[in-house]
Amino acid sequence: VPTVFDNYSANVMVDTKPISLGLWDTAGQEDYDRLRPLSYPQTDVFLICFSVVSRASFENVKSKWLPEIRHHAPGVPFILVGTKLDLRNDEETLEKLREKKLTPITTEE
């Protein structure tokens, strides 16, 4: 079941200062393109996540997520997060990628 909106909050210490950390997981599906920006106001930083074993996921960073964030939250910084790093060297995953003539996303990309 796709996530529409999910959030997590905690008080954490950063440089000996307490801060309130709020993480919002928003839906990536096109059906939610009009709702997602409602969660952007007051955002201090975006975490843009992609799978290192999915070219489409990585391409969406450039074609969808960066343009959307720059449009709705200009000037707000982002951190790019590669997920599924454990699969980068997984033989079964690599074989499936090879069959499609694909490779995992590299750190240079």
Q: Which domains does the chain have, with CATH numbers?
A: 5-99 (3.40.50.300)
Q: What is the pLDDT of residues 7-21, one digit of tens each?
A: 889 999 999 999 988
Amino acid at 49: C
Q: Give residue for tokens 């969406």.
A: 60
Selected residue with higher pLDDT from 34 and 99: 99
Nearest Cα to Cα of residue 25 among 51, 47, 53: 47
On average, the pLDDT of the chain sits at 90
Answer yes or no: are the C-beta atoms of 85 and 52 closer than 8 Å.
Answer: yes
Q: What is the pLDDT of residues 36-77, one digit of tens each?
A: 788 888 899 999 999 999 999 999 999 999 999 999 999 999
Containing 92, the helix (H) or strand (E) segment is: helix 91-99
Give the model's pLDDT for residue 37: 83
